[in-house]
Structure 1
Amino acid sequence: MFTAIDLFSGFGGWTRGGKDAGLDVKWAANHWPAAVEWHTKNNPDTQHVCQDLHQADWSTVPKHDVMLASPCCQGHTKARGKAAGNPQHDNSRSTAWAPVQNAEVNRPEFAVIENVPEFMDWILYPAWADAMQRLGYALAPHIVDCADLGVPQHRVRLFMICSRSKAPLHLQLPQCQHVPARDILDFDAGTWSKIEKPGRAESTLLRVKKGRERFGERFIMPYYGSGSGLTGRSLNRPIGTITTLDRWALVRGDEMRMLSADEALAAQSFGPDTKRPDNHRLTMHMTGNAVPPLAGKRVIEALIAAA
């Protein structure tokens, strides 16, 4: 059995997926106490550290075969933060150096770095890649829509496969049938409100109108942002990307409600036995930041098969 660690472990998507694929995840680290608390509740057999990984002592980390890491993506996304000169986002981008520091000290056989595809557009990406290559790693970027791995959500992500091999390790990832949103949504549950009510934004009413024209009386739509535009989204396709905020609304006749925390977890492929906070906002934040466990499992399974 391969051993692993999970950097920027968050709510535990990488850890859950790695375990499901057969990894022994020995150690997990995150700077956010709430994330560490719930990661611990879901993974009591893993050693946990709550720490800013800029300041980690990598010599104290258990030896491992696989490093899993999800450095902050907010500074790379199209939606915000790509431009240099924003101190908050420049600092978030710098988290990508933590896996390099661990690789220098511990030299695991493999590292899998998850981020948004724009990570490779980062002005310092050539330096980052050069650092990993100087440490003996061949790099193979895989840009994947997690829906193609069986996750009921369109979520395009970069999985950078780093291997101590002469040639880059290109994985044979499965092409799974897409899971429609209707499989994870419960239109008979939740608290609904009337669509036509004082204070409802005109843009929301227009989305509902356009959605009805295309999809009838039941569909989903973005409550804010540009995803799916003004047209809504069919229940026969995966839901759009789950974010850290309440983004997706369900429409049922003349009523609507926001996506529930349990539905968001299901959209991310977390199992129904996943322990989570009662606080909706906190759950959505951690869920939206997570690696979908099923995507992690599929990637790790392909890595083990290729190793």
Structure 2
Amino acid sequence: MITAVDLFAGLGGFSEAAKIAGIKVVWAANHWPTAVEWHAANHPHAIHACQDLHQANWSTVPAHDLLLAAPCCQGHTKARGKGAGNPQHDASRSTAWAVVSAIEYHRPEVAIVENVPEFLNWSLYPAWSQAMHALGYQLAPHIVDCADLGVPQNRVRLFLVCTRSRAPLYLQLQQRQHVPASSFINFDSGRWSQIDKPGRAASTLIRVKNGRESFGERFIMPYYGSGSGLTGRDLNRPIGTITTRDRWAVVDGDRMRMIDADEVLRAMSFPEDTRRPASSRLTVHMAGNAVPPVAGSEIILAVKAAA
């Protein structure tokens, strides 16, 4: 069986993707104890490490065929990177060097690195890619909207396929039919409130008004942040990008609510039996940082098919 390790494993989206693709994850790591706890709950057969991967002893990591890594992306995004005055952007970006260290020791046949597309614009990306080339890897960047891979969410991400080959491995990815947001919204659950109530923000009421005019009585809309501006989104299309904080609300007639943690997990394409914290806020935070399993599995399966 093909084996894999999962760096920056978080809630386990990449590990779930590997599982869907028929690959066994033998080792997973994260610096955050809570993430390790819940990754272990969903992937009990993997060895788990809770540590800063800059300090990892790679000789203790099992041999593997595939390395999966989703280094911290916040330092690369326009909203939370250097341009936004984030003082931790450099420390965030530096997590990508752990991938080089791991590969230098183990030299797996393939590594897949997930991040935001801005990763390619990182001032140190030329040095990072040169380090990967020096270790014998060819790099093939794929920028995809996860909705095109079957995730019910518009989420544009970079999947960097790194292979020990003579030429970069560019994948033939089949575009899947888009899955609508209605597939994961449960109108019989959640904590609803009346739209017209004292204290409701004027911008919220404008979004509701415009949403009703465009989509009828049921639709989704950004509640925090700009998202889809002052309009909202049709339930017959994927939801917008899920973030680490509550962002999206669902409107049903004269009532509304935030989408709940279980709906967030489904929007990310996690399976129904995924174990999660009781805290909705914590679940949303971890899910928003994750690799959507369905998108990750499509990438992994394409790599397997091309190998």
**TM-score scaled by structure 2?**
0.98
1:78 paired residue number: 78
Alignment gaps of 5+ in structure 2:
none
Partner SS, residue 83 of structure 1: helix
- Give runs of aligned pairs for residues 90-105 of structure 1, distance below 5 A: 90-105=90-105
2:147 paired residue number: 147
2:190 paired residue number: 190
Alignment gaps of 5+ in structure 1:
none
Deviation at 1:35, TM superposition (A): 0.6
Cα distance in 2 for partners of 1:60, 1:304 equals: 26
2:56 paired residue number: 56
Cα distance in 2 for partners of 1:12, 1:189 equals: 26
1:14 paired residue number: 14
Number of residues of Structure 1 aligned to a counterpart in Structure 2: 307
1:208 paired residue number: 208
Q: Deviations over 1:158-184 (max 9, x none)?
A: 000000001000111121000011111
Contact 2:78 2:84 in 1 (8 A): no
Cα distance in 2 for partners of 1:16, 1:223 equals: 30
Partner SS, residue 68 of structure 1: strand
Partner SS, residue 265 of structure 1: helix
Contact 1:84 1:90 in 2 (8 A): no
Cα distance in 2 for partners of 1:21, 1:252 equals: 37
Deviation at 1:105, TM superposition (A): 0.9
C-alpha RMSD of the superposition: 1.1
Letter in 2 for 1:306: A
Cα distance in 2 for partners of 1:216, 1:131 equals: 53
Structure 1 pair 58–297 and aligned structure 2 pair: CA distance change class (3 A): same
Deviation at 1:206, TM superposition (A): 1.0
Partner SS, residue 100 of structure 1: helix
2:300 paired residue number: 300
Letter in 2 for 1:46: A
Cα distance in 2 for partners of 1:300, 1:96 equals: 20
Deviation at 1:188, TM superposition (A): 2.2
**TM-score scaled by structure 1?**
0.98
Contact 2:114 2:157 in 1 (8 A): yes
1:26 paired residue number: 26
1:285 paired residue number: 285
Structure 1 pair 252–86 and aligned structure 2 pair: CA distance change class (3 A): closer
Contact 2:4 2:68 in 1 (8 A): yes
Query: How high is the sequence identity, in percent, across the aligned residues?
Result: 70
Structure 1 pair 84–202 and aligned structure 2 pair: CA distance change class (3 A): closer
Partner SS, residue 209 of structure 1: helix
